[in-house]
Amino acid sequence: MITGIGEFARGITHQTIQGAATLIQSPSAGGAELLGMSASTQGQVVISVLVIIILFVFRRALLAVVSRTVEDPASRYKWAKTSAYTASLIGLVVVIQIWFVALRSLSTFLGLLSAGLAIALRDVVADFAGWLFILFRRPFDLGDRIQIGTHAGDVIDRRIFQFSIMEIGNWVSADQSTGRVIHIPNQRVFLEPLANYSAGFPYLWNELEVLLTFESDWKQAKSLFKDITTKIMKDVVAEAEGPRKKADQRFLIHYRTLTPAVYTSVQESGVLLTVRYLCRPRERRGTGEELWEEILQVVKRTDSIEFAYPTQRRIVDSRSD
């Protein structure tokens, strides 16, 4: 596509620069310079401005048609981004051909340009390379929940030099939104570990820790807690055990079992039962609340099960003075 645009631009440059310059230059003195610019330079300025205006008008008209025919906000967003990138690329290539007609080989110009940018604009080049990596390698998509470095959130925008997330966590518990939008430079995908909550296996393993007294019937509690969790999470387990989407098959992910489990361990203050279950990334807090409410009701109804908490026992020896 770039080659075709370059050939087209070279063809029109020689034919239009003289015509545009003739319209701009003063008729007196055999073509006096205007504003200190030669006739050829004036023609190049006019053509460059016309190219930008035409591309802008065409893109606005395209988006107007899309807004009337497409109802999905995500599709509209993709149309807007794609049209912006395409118009910018076409405009850049055409303007380069207008102003650098002497450089017949576009690759020569791009080589010189990239060498200068690599030295003077290292961070900008790194952000652009990160954008290409995000665009083609697709470590995350719009709407994915990710964590990069210390920041976590839902991806709401991707641009040439940065991407934006709606922050979760921080001072808010259980991965819920803080309401802040964080803009992250694209080069961070090369420098920081990136965790994707949604890609590959769009579920999370969550755990609840329930501490019981040593005197409690922990075996009965373990059975009751597992029954409660299995009942509440049965739809999620059935969905996870079903066929995976094609986009989720890029990674070799395999679990032997996806059903809830309850593990037993001993702490200083009692017997610790850890309830482990599968949930959707954005439902971690809701499912945890639902499980805790059921566990509280079960413990209240069962006399042989009691919650433990840090306590101190004082033994008094009656034989002492």
pLDDT of residue 121: 67
**How is domain 134-196 classified at the architecture level of CATH?**
Roll (2.30)
pLDDT of residue 27: 44
Nearest CA among 277, 281, 236 for reference residue 143: 281
* Mean pLDDT, residues 228-236: 93
Contacts of 268 (CB under 8 A, 6+ apart): 310
Contacts of 165 (CB under 8 A, 6+ apart): 146, 151, 152, 153, 154, 155, 156, 181, 182, 184
C-alpha to C-alpha distance for 256 and 233, rounded to whole angstroms: 17
C-alpha to C-alpha distance for 174 and 233, rounded to whole angstroms: 18
Inter-residue contact 139 to 127 (CB < 8 Å): no
Per-residue b/e over 93-122, b at no fewer than 16 CB within 10 Å?
bbbbbbbeeeeeebeebeeeeeeeeeeeee
Inter-residue contact 124 to 161 (CB < 8 Å): yes
134-196 and 204-301: same fold?
Answer: no
pLDDT confidence tier of residue 51, bands split at 50, 70 and 90: confident
pLDDT of residue 182: 94
pLDDT confidence tier of residue 112, bands split at 50, 70 and 90: low
Starting at the edge strand found earlier in the chain, the sheet holding 261-267 runs 204-212, 270-279, 261-267
pLDDT of residue 5: 44
- Tokens 């650098």, residue? 100
Dig out the tokens for 57 from the structure: 């008008």
* Mean pLDDT, residues 75-80: 74
Dig out the tokens for 151 from the structure: 């920041």
Look at 147-156, 163-172, 240-249, 269-278 and tell me which has the smallest mean pLDDT. 240-249
- The rounded mean pLDDT for the chain is 79
Contacts of 36 (CB under 8 A, 6+ apart): none
- Say if residue 211's pLDDT is above 90: yes
C-alpha to C-alpha distance for 217 and 271, rounded to whole angstroms: 10
**Helices 73-99 & 2-24 angle (0-180, nearest 10):** 60
Q: Give the chain's length.
A: 321
Domain map (residue ranges) of the chain: 2-120, 134-196, 204-301
Look at 100-104, 161-165, 187-191, 255-259 and tell me which has the smallest mean pLDDT. 100-104
pTM for the full predicted model: 0.61
Q: Between 318 and 226, where is the model more confident?
A: 226
Question: Which 3 state secondary structure label does DSSP give 195?
Answer: strand
Is the CA virtual torsion 231, 233, 235, 240 positive or negative?
negative
Task: Choose from 60-64, 170-174, 225-229, 240-244 the range with maximum mean pLDDT.
Answer: 225-229
**How is domain 204-301 classified at the architecture level of CATH?**
2-Layer Sandwich (3.30)
